[in-house]
Amino acid sequence: MAEANPILIVENASCRFDVSGPWLQRIATGAPRRELKAVNQVSFSVPRGATFSIVGESGCGKTTLARMIVGLQPPTAGSVRFGEIRRADGTVGPPRVQMIFQDPYASLNPRWRVGDIVAEPIRELKLRATEAETAARVAELLVTVGLSAADADRYPHAFSGGQRQRISIARALATEADVLVCDEPTSALDVSVQAQILNLMVRLQKKLDLTYILISHNLSVVRHMSDQLAIMYLGRIVEIGDADTIFNGPLHPYTRLLLDTIPDVESPNRARAPLSGEVPSPINPPPGCAFHPRCPMAEAACSRTVPELMPRPRRSVACLVLENSEGAADAQISRSTPSA
C-alpha cells in the first residue's frame, strides 16, 4: 500500500535459499535442486512515525523479512530501500536503522559492562567527540529507558529479562536510529514485564518520532501498538492495511482464524473456529493459494490460481473467494438494473 513520503519502501521483495543436497549426491541420485521460498514478492511502504506490524505463524517469513530490512539478508529479487528524512539539525539523508532482537540476553555481550555495550555504537559512528560526552550520553540513554546511570558499571547477568531488554533498546537508541526493527521484542518476557516494555516503546516513539517495524505472533501486543498491519502466510502477504480496520473486520479467512485465537474477557465462551493443520513446507508449497488446504472457504480455483492483493477500503486482501463473491454480487446487481 502506497504512502506519501514513506520512510521505508519494499517492492516485490523475495528471499530464497538453496537447500539442495551436495552436488555429488544429486548427480548420483538424480535429485533436482531444491529452493526454500522464505519471502515471496512482498510489497509495502511505511510512513515516518508509524508502527507497521507483521504477523503470522512460525515459519511464515517474518524474521527473514526483518533481516532483509536491516540489511542482514540481501533480497534475491525486488528491492528494500529507504526514503530521505530531514533531521533536527537540518541535514537530509537516509534514516538510521537498528534492530531489537528477540532474546535480550543472547544479544548482549556477557563479558562487557552495560556502559561499554551502549557506548559501542556511539564510538563506532563517532557520534560524540570525547569520552566524557560519550559517558554522559550513555547515562542519559540508561535513564531514558528506565534504568539508572550507575547501571553502566554492571554486567548483563545482573539484570532481569525486562531490564536486559531495556539495555537492548538503549543500545539501539545510541545510534540515533530513526527506524527500529523489533523482532518479537517481548516474547521472552513475563506478561507484566511485557506491558512495561511496550509502554516504554510507545513513550519513546512519541518523544523521538521513531518508526517501528514490529515482528510478532502475539496479536494482543500487535493490537496495542500498531498503526498498520500485514498478515503473512508462507512468505506472502494475504491482508494488509489499517490495523484497526483489520482487527475490527478481518476479511481473509486466515486473518479471521488468526484473530479468533485472541482471548476475549467479555466473551470467553464465544464460538470459535480452530486453526487446524500445519503450515506447509516452503520448500514444496501447495499450488495456487498456499492457504487453501487449511481454508474452510476454499473453492476449486484456489488450488490453481495464486491470488493477488486487491484493494479494499483501508486495506488490500489476496483471496479468490472474496473476488468471486464480489464479482457475483456485481453481476447480480447489473442483471437486476434495468437498461436505459
Task: Render pLDDT for 307-320 as a digit per residue (tens, 0 to 9).
Answer: 999 999 999 999 99
What the block records as the C-alpha cell of 237 is 502477504
State how far the Cα of 141 lies from the Cα of 242, in Å rounded to an integer: 32
pLDDT at residue number 273: 63
Q: Collect contacts of 310-315 with beta carbons under 8 A, ≥24 apart.
A: 312/241, 312/251, 313/245, 314/241, 314/242, 314/245, 315/1, 315/239, 315/240, 315/241, 315/242, 315/245, 315/246, 315/251
Q: Which helix (H) or strand (E) holds 66?
A: helix 62-70
What is the number of helices (H) and of strands (E) in the chain? 10, 13
Distances (CA, A) of 140 to 72, 124, 152: 29, 18, 11
Residue-level pLDDT at 318: 95
Which tens digits make up the pLDDT trace of 148-203? 999 999 999 999 989 999 999 999 999 999 999 999 888 878 888 888 888 999 99
Q: How many C-beta neighbours within 10 Å does residue 320 have?
A: 24
pTM of structure: 0.87
Phi and psi torsions of 280, nearest 5°: -60, 160
The CATH class of 6-95+178-272+280-333 is alpha beta
Please classify residue 333 by burial: count the beta carbons closer than 10 Å to its beta carbon, then call 0-12 exposed, 13-18 middle and 19+ buried.
Answer: exposed
Residues linked to residue 228 through DSSP beta bridges, in sequence order: 52, 242
Report, as ranges of residue numbers, the positions in the chain whose pLDDT lies below 70.
1-4, 263-276, 326-340
318 contacts 240 by C-beta, under 8 angstroms: no
Q: What is the pLDDT of residue 328?
A: 46
Q: Distance between CA 8 and CA 50 in Å, rounded?
A: 11
End-to-end CA distance of the chain: 38
Using CA atoms, how far apart are residues 301 and 40, in angstroms rounded to an integer?
A: 21
